[in-house]
């Protein structure tokens, strides 16, 4: 695979978009793609480091910036925005996980400067980032290089004029071969140790400055005209919870300096090469789709936390949109990719939810319910982090009330859904005994207490917000009710399985204190859960939705800006919906609907959906593909894949849309390739876009690694690593795939 992405424009606004799409990360550190030579508000993100903030409870911390570099040549500061820029080019290489930059400029005093850099955030060494750069000029003179650790960073907040500082500097230090900053978050929960060193090949004069902005080493070097000078900047960003962290960080800095850039880069390339062996998707006949999809996969992988104190944030490590909070985006949109391709990583993210089960139980109690209620937005401690009020003006007089915190309850069922999905893919008995069963039981308990009995309707769920957030305080949202039912039935099924199996599964039942009568009640509620009216086959999104003012939109557009103002103002009183809702339920619980009903619902809702959320198109794309709406499915698939590359939602600078990224992969897997797990069997019923000559990728299933190739004429499945025979159903043909064998089905 050879994938690189080139970008050639320069302006501070565009640079912010590049900042997101050229972010490099390794599941611990995230460094945005803005050029190192210009100032920026973005520092470093360290996954899992959160701090208290007004209105949003806790947010991911904008940690000190280490990637920055200042240059002065013969007294002239070399900012690219203050001289004549002759060439500006950036290249993201997703195969190697590196970012290159080329700059050529003529300074105001007429000096030509050539600058070239290569940066990586090391794949195998989680605390390490590197910047190698070259400098050349057409005049001789003195080059001054300033290598800072910039502690003067703050998070952008709900108001542009208010910045929130999260880092308290404990110590700035330096030695012959390092500069160092030790910082703590304001709440004292986390410590960060940051060390850096610039290593030139030449003899230089070195001094260090400390200021309110932090600490910097300053190197002065006499340069000749037209000679290339090369430097390597080593960076350590560590947040380990050990007593001698500073010493450890400095030791690691010395160690990597000793190894040198080339060795470290070779290790890093090896890491990505191993990753791509599993993650890569090959699409023959559509290079554009292939490139874009792998680009999204690259960003998903970079964002996945290495430990389970936090899960994947909605906007990744790429920006401060949604404050690093974890939503249902993770479970429903991103995790299916990880479950299928990197199940061990997916497991960690599920363990994160289990770790926060106590917080979810407290949350339920606080709201008057039983069991575990997961927060709509979650952070490092598992408590509810959704703001309930956001001030629009500086004085906080005009406040926007956010109800998702109190009403968007489907997240709890979404988490159970994905626990079951994980088990179906992995058969991970141990995980279920230790974590999964408890999540399913405690969430079923929640729904049993959340649901009310209505004499006429049966069991109802009042006052919620479904995935379509335009309509608040609604009763019996189709998605929520159906997912709650599914959650309760999972409780029943897994309870029965646990009794049958005994051992650690039965121990979990006892530990959680699940009683037979309780489970019977879950079953009764599930059977009698009310669903809103169905007219002409179309399910009403919630009670009363069909009575709202009708309004339709062009299904090819995105967002609300295209709507007349009077409609925008009263959007919640119209039938317009923000994103897939009924269709999302029909996607996730596909087996409960026949294709005719799905089609009726799709046709009805598609012209009433604004797709204002990037979570909308992936689901519509998958279902469109099932329905044979090939053009629409392909169009939506490409829009998911291009969400950030083309800044389709206008807010790419705030971070990567990881739900759209994971969604794009699901369009391939569940939509175009029609892969589904039913019991022990993998069903494959492909509907490839007609220009695709073939698609090839791998996934893991219950300990086996399967390689699959689909062309318009055949499906080939290889059982590469497994020890087990796998049951397949390829377009209705049932087959057994033995270890180290392959099956070809032609049609």
The tokens describing 330, both together, are 């993770």
Q: How far apart are CA 152 and CA 213, in angstroms?
A: 5
- Bridging pattern class, strands 229-238 and 214-223: unpaired
620 contacts ligand BGC (rule: CB under 6 A): no
The torsion defined by the Cα of 207, 210, 215 and 217, in degrees rounded to 10, comes to: -10
Told to judge if 170 belongs to the known catalytic residues of this protein, a careful annotator would answer no
CB 643 within 8 A of CB 658: no
> Which token pair is 446?
């929640």
Answer for which of 117, 613, 666, 719 binds ligand BGC (CB under 6 A) is: 613
> At 63, which helix (H) or strand (E)?
strand 57-63
Neighbouring C-beta atoms of residue 106, cutoff 10 Å: 14
Cβ–Cβ < 8 Å for 276, 1 = yes
CB of 658 to ligand BGC, least distance (A): 8
- Say how many residues make up the chain: 747
Cα 671–Cα 410–Cα 523 angle in degrees, nearest 5: 95
| Gap between the Cα atoms of 545 and 573, Å rounded | 9
- Binders of ligand BGC among residues 204 to 223 (CB under 6 A) are none
Nearer to ligand BGC, 328 or 431 (CB): 328
- Answer yes or no whether residue 7 interacts with ligand BGC by CB under 6 A: no
Integer Cα distance of 402 and 289 in angstroms: 37
Among 157-165, 320-328, 452-460, 675-683, which window interacts with ligand BGC (CB under 6 A)?
320-328
**Cβ–Cβ under 8 Å, residues 100 and 4:** no
Q: Can you tell me whether residue 417 is helix, strand or coil? A: helix
> Is residue 327 a contact point for ligand BGC (CB under 6 A)?
yes
Distance of CA 571 to the CA centre of its chain: 29
Q: How many other C-beta atoms lie within 10 A of the C-beta of residue 393?
A: 9
- Give the binding range for ligand BGC (CB under 6 A) out of 51-59, 170-178, 322-330, 502-510: 322-330
User: Smaller CB distance to ligand BGC: residue 329 or 475?
Assistant: 329
Place of tokens 């405690």: 442
Q: Which is nearer to ligand BGC, 118 or 474 (CB)?
A: 474
Least distance CB 668 / ligand BGC (angstroms): 21
Residue range at the interface with ligand BGC (CB under 6 A); choices 20-28, 324-332, 475-483, 670-678: 324-332
According to CB under 6 A, which residues from 684 to 723 bind ligand BGC? none
CB nearer ligand BGC, residue 375 or residue 467: 467
**65/611 with CB nearer ligand BGC:** 611
Sole window of 98-106, 178-186, 321-329, 641-649 interacting with ligand BGC (rule: CB under 6 A): 321-329
Q: Which residue of 314, 492, 563, 641 would you call a contact of ligand BGC, by CB under 6 A? A: 314
Distances (CA, A) of 360 to 402, 406, 492: 20, 14, 21
CB of 480 to ligand BGC, least distance (A): 13
> Least CB distance from residue 612 to ligand BGC, whole Å?
7
469 binds ligand BGC (CB under 6 A): yes
Least CB distance to ligand BGC at residue 613 (A): 4
Catalytic residue among 377, 406, 469, 541: 469
Please, which residue, 382 or 467, has the CB nearer to ligand BGC?
A: 467
What token pair was written down for 665?
């992969």
According to the binding rule CB under 6 A, does residue 619 interact with ligand BGC? no
Q: Is 587 in the site for ligand BGC (CB under 6 A)?
A: no
505 and 430 Cβ atoms separated by less than 8 Å:
no
CB closer to ligand BGC out of 37 and 332: 332
Segment contacting ligand BGC by CB under 6 A, of 39-47, 118-126, 326-334, 486-494: 326-334
With H, G, I as helix, E, B as strand and everything else as coil, classify residue 663.
helix
Among candidate residues 485, 499, 585, 502, the one with its CA nearest the CA of residue 539? 585
Task: Say if CB 157 and CB 163 are below 8 A apart.
Answer: yes
Return the number of the residue (376 or 494) whose C-beta is nearest ligand BGC.
Answer: 376
> How far is the C-alpha of 595 from the C-alpha of 625, rounded, in Å?
12
Which of 68, 375, 467, 698 binds ligand BGC (CB under 6 A)? It is 467
Residue window 232-261: x/- pattern of binding to ligand BGC, with contact defined by CB under 6 A: ------------------------------
Helix, strand, or coil (residue 44): strand
Q: Could you tell me the smallest distance in angstroms from the CB atom of residue 439 to ligand BGC? A: 19
Which segments within 127-258 are labelled E, that is strand? 128-137, 141-150, 155-156, 163-164, 167-175, 178-185, 191-200, 205-211, 214-223, 229-238
Binder among 335, 402, 615, 660 for ligand BGC (CB under 6 A)? 615
Q: Which two tokens stand for residue 114?
A: 């050539």
Residue 329 in the binding site for ligand BGC (CB under 6 A): yes
Looking at beta carbons only, is 464 or 726 nearer to ligand BGC?
464
Shortest distance in whole angstroms from residue 385 CB to ligand BGC = 12
- Asked whether 406 and 435 are in contact (CB, 8 A), the reply is no
Q: Does 328 bind ligand BGC (CB under 6 A)?
A: yes
Q: β-pairing, 70-73 with 155-156?
A: unpaired
Give the nearest distance from C-beta 604 to ligand BGC in angstroms: 20
Residue 322 as a binder of ligand BGC (CB under 6 A): the answer is yes
- Tell me, by CB under 6 A, how many residues bind ligand BGC: 12
Binding track, positions 648-677, relative to ligand BGC; x by CB under 6 A: -----------x------------------
In the block, tokens 């009794």 appear at 499
Closer of 29 and 615 to ligand BGC (Cβ): 615
Residues identified as active-site: 469
List of residues contacting ligand BGC (CB under 6 A) = 314, 322, 327-329, 467, 469, 578-579, 613, 615, 659
């Amino acid at each position: 695979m050879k994938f690189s992405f080139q970008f050639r424009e320069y302006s501070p606004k565009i640079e912010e978009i590049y900042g997101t799409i050229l972010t490099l990360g390794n599941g611990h550190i995230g460094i945005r793609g803005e050029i190192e030579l210009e100032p920026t508000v973005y520092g470093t993100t360290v996954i899992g480091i959160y701090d208290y903030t007004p209105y949003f409870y806790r947010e991911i911390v904008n940690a000190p910036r280490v990637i920055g570099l200042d240059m002065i040549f013969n007294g002239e500061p070399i900012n690219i925005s203050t001289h004549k820029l002759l060439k500006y080019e950036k290249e993201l290489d997703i195969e190697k996980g590196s970012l290159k930059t080329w700059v050529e400029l003529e300074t105001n005093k007429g000096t030509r400067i050539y600058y070239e850099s290569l940066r990586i955030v090391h794949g195998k060494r989680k605390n390490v980032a590197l910047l190698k750069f070259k400098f050349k000029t057409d005049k001789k003179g003195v080059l001054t290089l300033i290598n800072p650790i910039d502690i003067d960073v703050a998070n952008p907040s709900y108001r542009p004029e208010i910045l929130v500082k999260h880092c308290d500097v404990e110590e700035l230090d330096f030695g012959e071969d390092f500069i160092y900053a030790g910082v703590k978050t304001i709440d004292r929960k986390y410590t960060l140790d940051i060390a850096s060193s610039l290593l030139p090949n030449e003899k230089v004069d070195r001094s260090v400055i400390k200021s309110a902005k932090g600490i910097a080493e300053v190197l002065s070097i006499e340069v000749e005209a037209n000679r290339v000078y090369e430097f390597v900047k080593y960076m350590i960003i560590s947040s380990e919870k050990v007593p001698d962290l500073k010493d450890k960080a400095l030791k690691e800095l010395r160690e990597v300096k000793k190894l040198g850039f080339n060795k470290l880069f070779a290790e890093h390339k090896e890491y990505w090469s191993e990753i791509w062996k599993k993650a890569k998707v090959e699409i023959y006949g559509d290079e554009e789709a292939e490139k874009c999809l792998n680009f999204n996969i690259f960003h998903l992988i970079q964002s996945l936390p290495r430990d389970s104190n936090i899960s994947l944030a909605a906007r990744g490590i790429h920006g401060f949109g949604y404050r690093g909070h974890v939503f249902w985006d993770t479970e429903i949109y991103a995790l299916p990719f990880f479950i299928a391709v990197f199940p061990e990583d997916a497991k960690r993210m599920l363990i994160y939810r289990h770790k926060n089960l106590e917080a979810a139980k407290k949350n339920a109690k606080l709201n008057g319910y039983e069991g575990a209620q997961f927060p709509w937005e979650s952070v490092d401690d598992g408590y509810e982090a959704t703001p309930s009020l956001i001030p629009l003006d500086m004085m906080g007089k005009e406040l926007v009330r956010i109800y998702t915190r109190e009403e968007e309850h489907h997240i709890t069922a979404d988490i159970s859904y994905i626990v079951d999905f994980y088990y179906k893919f992995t058969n991970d008995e141990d995980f279920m005994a230790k974590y999964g069963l408890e999540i399913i039981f405690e969430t079923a308990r929640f729904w049993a207490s959340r649901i009310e009995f209505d004499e006429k309707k049966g069991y109802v769920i009042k006052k919620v917000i479904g995935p379509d957030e335009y309509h608040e305080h609604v009763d019996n949202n189709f998605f929520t009710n159906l997912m709650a039912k599914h959650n309760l039935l999972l409780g029943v099924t897994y309870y029965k399985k646990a009794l049958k199996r005994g051992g650690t599964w039965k121990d979990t039942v006892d530990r959680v204190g699940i009683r037979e009568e309780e489970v019977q009640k879950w079953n009764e509620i599930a059977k009698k859960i009310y669903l809103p009216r169905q007219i002409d086959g179309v399910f009403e999104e919630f009670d009363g939705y069909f009575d709202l003012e009708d309004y339709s939109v062009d299904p090819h557009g995105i967002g609300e800006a295209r709507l007349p103002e009077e409609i925008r103002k009263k959007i919640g009183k119209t039938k317009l919906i923000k994103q897939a809702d009924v269709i999302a339920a029909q996607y996730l619980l596909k087996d409960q609907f026949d294709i005719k009903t799905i089609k009726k619902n799709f046709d009805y809702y598609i012209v009433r959906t604004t797709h204002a959320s990037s979570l909308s198109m992936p689901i519509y794309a998958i279902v469109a593909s099932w329905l044979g709406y090939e053009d629409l499915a392909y169009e939506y698939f490409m829009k998911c894949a291009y969400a950030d590359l083309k800044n389709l939602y206008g807010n790419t600078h705030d971070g990567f849309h990881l739900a759209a990224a994971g969604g794009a992969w699901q369009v391939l897997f569940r939509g175009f390739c029609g892969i589904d797990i039913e019991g022990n069997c993998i069903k494959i019923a492909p509907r490839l876009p007609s220009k695709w000559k073939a698609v090839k990728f791998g996934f893991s299933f219950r300990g086996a690694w399967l390689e699959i190739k689909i062309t318009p004429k055949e499906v080939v499945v290889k059982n590469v690593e497994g020890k087990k025979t796998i049951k397949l159903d390829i377009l209705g043909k049932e087959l057994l795939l033995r270890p180290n064998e392959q099956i070809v089905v032609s049609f």
